[in-house]
């Protein structure tokens, strides 16, 4: 009882003080608040002198004997279309049959909205899309299915925004390797995705180092190593329960030493509500950046995730400034509509999608192909 | 963006205030909001429709409680319905008459089956059983290793004859595991299977084969609380493909609202048996329908807040701080404040904790704007003070303030504002403490030491009463939630219960009636108007 009261009182007090200072801080001219973090710390860290033999023709290293040869990227797209068409057709069929019915009454629009909502698109975007379509169709008075589909396609495309830059940034500057940090909540498929990314990179004749900075989950490092060994990529790992930032640092150091093109760092799954774990994640990124800038921070979102995905993305974006989203497990019956909202709110594009457990089931996200696949029959 | 139901309903009820009963139109308007709230909590659309239809019938029907005001009525009905669906037919784990009892875990990839196997193993072991974990996930790289490590941590044996990584036949493993368990006298066998998608016919067949091979006493469907609209499809696919007897909800330590639980409970009609809420092997508990109901509705979850507080706060320290504060002699210093602040921060992001407090719904926007780094700065300032200064901030003169500002990398203005705010807050907290002490919470230590000038004031001073519709919404919700858990007594849990005889209902009522002090509201308002 007492404790509870205190808690309330304490929190209120805290709120007052914080709100007050925040208010004051805002009111003061911005400069002090937006003080850049760097100048204070002269990069005294032994930033491993760029001793790597500059332009090592390391790409001539396909001396990966008897290793699995990853599939070329081109054939992946075809499979994407097939998979999506297979799994998501009910959505397309539902939408089109509603649109092509003779009379579009309120009930039909309700059904339409419902179909969209069941793809986890979220209430906001759904209403927006429905509004837009209603408007379009009211002008043209469409009962022709082809035209209806055309309009639906345009509107859907608008929603996914094809103009975003979806290139994976894996090229480091100044002879340093590109660093890809992969983050996400538990069980979204980070380790698996990294294994697949490593394969794609190897297929592009890049040299890769994997960093197993998931020191928490049992056997996570083993799992990553298994993936690495399959394509002949070294995995840097630390003791279980060790400091993940240290492992990440070592991995990037190894990448620098070996003159690798890309270092991909795996992190332990963490719920975005765990302040301590999120701080740890921030630390991992900071520590890596003592050696080389992180070129890409990928957030994994599971296609089955509902509206919580947006909150997750917000928090992760706050802590590590995510630059891209990977939508995993899209091969199930879930449609991953939540990424549309994430993309809209945070402006972070979906860059890759995972389509299954097969080793090459990772494809780049292409807005047009995605929408086409959704609407194909 | 994510308004809670509380916010939405308060919006609706703003216009309803003063009406004594609900008209059909009112109910329609409310139903729309509830529909949205449920959808945003990831409750399946079909379930929502059903739910709303029921709700309307009940709200219009004869069983409307005439004593409650409209918003209380609605929320009570909603909450009751939710608890009813979620609470369905709760039952304990069944054990086979002839051991071994076989528990099979099935679910999507990444829903947490392997981790759950360890938790379940530890839990059963704690109950005097001797469980055996079976590694029948031979698909994912190193899933077998993971189970072995988990088993080791839990101190439970693991049966893993196959190395995994695609090698071996899971059905065979499952079958031999039973013989193994019989010969070694394990009485519970927990079969961890590979994650699979509902639409993957081949793997579903495999799961069915495993089921056929081991003839499990319980098949548990493991599902992630974050799952969205697809929950029902997936659950149905598993029900059709494998068949399950109970549901385990994992990752409840996140802030997903977990509407999926409702969908599955409603559509499949299988009870939710366990809730797993953390990465530690002991973070595993029976499922509480009432808490889940408030969570789905996005209500301030007071019980969770209390539970978290109990975990993180040092009761003795807090009590001391309280006595100092309520002593009203300015003994409550910045060091106490710092302690409290750190304890609160350990519970999670400040914005989230504030969000859980009933009555704070209205300030959601402001709360969301709180920058955690500002709190770091506050900490830095306080830590730059000497112990004497912390204990007695009044001694801070100009030169001390300059030193502190230098030491903490802030400006004198920052220090000034912190100190001023602190004094203000202390004063306010003291009067608030007095207020609450008078508001039906006897046995408050230190209350008797209060100087008379801080005699309990009547609640809701001035025009503060009208300021907070959210609080009205929260009170009826808290009531049933607390009433349904007679065994749960926060006072006992804190070990501080000697003096406080107040019941849960009182607690809930106090919280429901809890009114933000006008000062604080002003503060937030002021901030809101600040230049952005």
Q: Which of A11, A25, A114 lies at the smallest CB-CB distance from B357?
A: A11
**For residue A321, is it left (φ>0), alpha (ψ between -120 and 50) or beta?**
left
Is the distance from CB of A130 to CB of A109 less than 8 angstroms?
A: yes
ipTM score over 0.90, yes or no: no
3-state SS record for B72-106: HHHHHHHHHHHHHHHHCCCCCCCCCCCCCEEEEEE
> Domain A72-377: which CATH class?
alpha beta
pLDDT at A283: 94
User: What residues of chain A lie within 8 A of the CB of B503, using their CB?
Assistant: none
Residue in chain A lying closest to B489 (CA): A1
In this complex, the residue of B349, B421, B532 whose CB is nearest that of residue A17 is B421
Structure tokens at A57: 């023709």
Tokens of B518: 């006008």
Cβ contacts of B381 within 8 Å, gap of 6 or more: B404, B405, B408, B410, B414, B415, B418
Q: How many CB atoms lie within 10 A of CB B56?
A: 17
Contact (CB<8Å) B229/A118: yes
Check B228 against A1: CB less than 8 A apart.
no
Q: Which residues pair with B131 in a beta bridge?
A: B188
**71-90 of A, contacting B, C-beta below 8 A:** 87
User: A304 and B108 in contact by Cβ < 8 A?
Assistant: yes
* Helix count and strand count (H, E) for chain A: 12, 8
Does the beta-carbon distance from A273 to B374 stay under 8 Å? Answer: no
pLDDT 10s digit of each residue in chain A, 377 long? 344 455 555 555 655 555 555 444 444 433 433 333 333 333 333 333 333 333 333 333 333 344 566 665 556 666 666 666 555 556 666 777 776 666 667 777 777 787 788 778 888 888 888 888 888 777 766 566 677 778 888 888 888 888 888 888 888 888 889 999 999 998 888 998 999 999 989 988 899 999 999 988 878 888 899 889 988 999 999 888 889 999 999 999 999 999 999 999 999 999 888 878 888 999 999 999 999 999 999 999 988 888 888 889 999 998 999 999 999 888 777 777 888 888 888 889 999 988 877 778 888 888 887 777 666 65
Q: Flag if A308 and B199 touch (Cβ within 8 Å).
A: no
Q: Which of residues 167-206 of A touch B (CB under 8 A)?
A: 185-189, 192, 195
Count CB-CB contacts under 10 A for residue A128.
Answer: 16
Contacts of B371-379 spanning 24+ positions with Cβ under 8 A: B371/A22, B374/A18, B374/A21, B374/A22, B374/A25, B375/A18, B375/B341, B375/B345, B375/B350, B377/A21, B377/B408, B377/B410, B377/B414, B378/A17, B378/A18, B378/A21, B378/B341, B378/B418, B379/B338, B379/B341, B379/B342
The alpha carbon of residue A180 is apart from the nearest alpha carbon of chain B, in Å, by 22
Query: Across the interface, do A222 and B142 touch by the CB < 8 Å criterion?
Result: yes
CB-closest option in B199, B227, B436 to A87: B199
Three-class DSSP category at A210: strand
Q: Which residues on chain B are in Cβ contact (under 8 Å) with A185? A: 226, 251, 254
Domains detected in chain B: 5-87 (1.20.120.140), 101-299 (3.40.50.300), 312-462+516-529 (1.10.260.30)
pLDDT digits (tens, 9 = 90+) for A333-369: 777 788 888 888 888 999 998 887 777 888 888 888 7
A327 with A353: CB under 8 angstroms?
yes
Residue from B235, B216, B210 nearest B224 by CA: B235
Residues of chain B positioned with their CB less than 8 A from the CB of A273: 253-255, 348-349, 352
Low-confidence ranges of chain B (pLDDT < 70): 1-22, 61-72, 88-90, 298-308, 311-312, 326-330, 348-370, 432-532
Name the residue with tokens 């019941």: B503
Please state, in angstroms and rounded to a whole number, the distance separating the CA atoms of residues B193 and B212.
13
What region, left, alpha or beta, does residue B168 occupy, with left being phi > 0 and alpha being psi -120 to 50 degrees?
left
**Cα distance from B499 to chain A (closest Cα, Å)?**
9
Q: Residue A298: phi, psi to the nearest 5?
A: -100, 130
Q: Where are the domains of chain A?
A: 72-377
CB contact under 8 Å between B234 and A226, yes or no, is no
Nearest to B441 among A5, A23, A304 (CB): A5
Please give the pLDDT value at position A102: 64
| CA dist., res. B518 & res. B468, Å (int) | 10
């Amino acid at each position: 009882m007492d404790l509870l009261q205190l808690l309330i009182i304490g929190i209120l007090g805290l709120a007052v003080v914080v709100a007050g200072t925040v208010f004051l801080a805002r009111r003061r001219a911005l400069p002090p608040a937006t003080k850049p973090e760097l100048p204070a710390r002269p990069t005294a860290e032994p930033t491993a002198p760029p001793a790597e033999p500059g332009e090592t023709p390391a790409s001539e290293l396909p001396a990966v004997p008897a290793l699995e040869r990853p599939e070329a990227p081109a054939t992946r797209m075809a499979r994407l279309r097939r998979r999506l068409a297979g799994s998501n057709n009910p959505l397309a069929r539902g939408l089109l049959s509603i649109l092509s019915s003779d009379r579009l009454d309120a009930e039909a629009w309700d059904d339409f909205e419902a179909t969209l909502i069941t793809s986890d698109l979220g209430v906001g975007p759904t209403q927006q899309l429905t509004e837009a379509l209603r408007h379009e169709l009211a002008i043209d008075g469409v009962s022709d299915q082809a035209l209806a589909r055309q309009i639906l396609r345009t509107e859907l495309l608008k929603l996914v925004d094809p103009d975003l830059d979806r290139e994976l940034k894996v090229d480091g500057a100044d002879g340093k390797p590109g660093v890809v940090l992969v983050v996400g909540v538990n069980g979204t498929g980070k380790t698996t995705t990294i294994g697949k990314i490593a394969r794609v990179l190897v297929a592009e004749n890049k040299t890769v180092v994997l960093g197993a900075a998931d020191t928490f989950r049992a056997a996570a490092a083993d799992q990553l190593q298994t993936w690495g060994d399959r394509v002949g990529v070294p995995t840097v790992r630390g003791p279980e329960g060790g400091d993940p930032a240290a492992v990440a640092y070592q991995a990037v150091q190894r990448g620098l030493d070996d003159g690798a093109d890309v270092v991909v760092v795996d992190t332990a799954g963490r719920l975005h509500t765990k302040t301590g774990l999120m701080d740890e994640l921030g630390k991992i990124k900071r520590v890596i950046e003592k050696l080389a800038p992180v070129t890409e921070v990928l957030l994994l979102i599971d296609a089955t995730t509902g509206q919580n995905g947006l909150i997750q993305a917000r928090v992760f974006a706050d802590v590590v400034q995510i630059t891209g989203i990977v939508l995993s497990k899209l091969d199930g019956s879930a449609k991953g509509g939540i990424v549309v909202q994430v993309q809209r709110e945070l402006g972070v594009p979906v860059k890759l999608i995972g389509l299954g457990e097969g080793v090459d089931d990772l494809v780049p996200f292409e807005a047009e192909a995605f929408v086409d696949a959704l609407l194909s029959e | 963006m994510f308004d809670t139901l509380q916010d939405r309903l308060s919006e609706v009820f703003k216009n309803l205030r003063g009406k004594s009963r609900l008209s059909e139109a009112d109910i329609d308007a409310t139903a729309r909001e509830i529909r949205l709230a449920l959808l945003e909590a990831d409750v399946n659309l079909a379930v929502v429709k059903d739910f709303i239809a029921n709700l309307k019938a009940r709200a219009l029907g004869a069983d409307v409680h005439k004593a409650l005001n409209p918003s209380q009525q609605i929320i009570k009905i909603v909450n009751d319905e939710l608890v009813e669906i979620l609470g369905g037919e709760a039952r304990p784990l069944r054990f086979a008459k002839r051991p071994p009892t076989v528990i099979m875990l099935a679910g999507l990839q990444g829903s947490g089956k392997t981790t759950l196997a360890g938790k379940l193993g530890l839990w059963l072991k704690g109950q005097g059983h001797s469980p055996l974990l079976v590694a029948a996930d031979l698909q994912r790289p190193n899933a077998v290793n993971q189970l072995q490590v988990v088993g080791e941590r839990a101190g439970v044996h693991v049966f893993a004859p196959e190395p995994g990584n695609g090698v071996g036949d899971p059905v065979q493993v499952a079958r031999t595991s039973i013989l193994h368990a019989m010969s070694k006298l394990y009485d519970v066998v927990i079969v961890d299977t590979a994650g699979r998608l509902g639409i993957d016919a081949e793997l579903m067949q495999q799961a069915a084969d495993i089921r056929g091979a081991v003839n499990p006493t319980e098949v548990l469907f493991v599902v992630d609380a974050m799952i969205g609209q697809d929950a029902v499809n997936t659950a149905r696919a598993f029900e059709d493909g494998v068949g399950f007897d109970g549901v385990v909800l994992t990752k409840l330590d996140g802030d997903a609202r977990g509407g999926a639980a409702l969908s599955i409970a409603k559509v499949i009609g299988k009870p939710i048996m366990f809730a797993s809420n953390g990465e530690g092997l002991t973070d595993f508990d029976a499922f509480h329908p009432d808490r889940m109901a408030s969570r789905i509705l996005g209500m301030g979850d007071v019980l969770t807040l209390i539970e978290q507080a109990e975990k993180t706060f040092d009761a003795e320290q807090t009590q001391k701080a309280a006595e100092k504060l309520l002593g009203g002699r300015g003994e409550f210093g910045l060091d106490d404040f710092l302690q409290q602040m750190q304890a609160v921060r350990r519970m999670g992001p400040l914005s989230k904790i504030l969000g859980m407090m009933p009555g704070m719904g209205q300030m959601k926007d402001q709360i969301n704007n709180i920058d955690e780094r500002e709190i770091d700065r506050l900490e830095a300032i306080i830590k730059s003070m000497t112990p004497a200064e912390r204990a007695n901030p009044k001694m801070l003169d100009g030169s001390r303030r300059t030193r502190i500002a230098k030491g903490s990398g802030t400006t004198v203005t920052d220090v000034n504002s912190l100190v001023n705010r602190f004094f203000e807050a202390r004063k306010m907290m003291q009067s608030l403490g007095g207020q609450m002490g008078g508001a039906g919470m006897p046995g408050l230590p230190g209350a008797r030491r209060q100087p008379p000038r801080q005699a309990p004031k009547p609640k809701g001073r001035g025009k503060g009463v009208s300021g907070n519709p959210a609080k009205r919404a929260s009170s009826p919700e808290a009531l049933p939630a607390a009433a349904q858990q007679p065994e749960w007594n926060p006072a006992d849990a804190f070990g501080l219960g000697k003096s406080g005889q107040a019941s849960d209902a009182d607690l809930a009522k106090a919280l429901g009636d809890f009114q933000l002090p006008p000062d604080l509201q002003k503060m937030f308002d002021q901030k809101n108007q600040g230049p952005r």
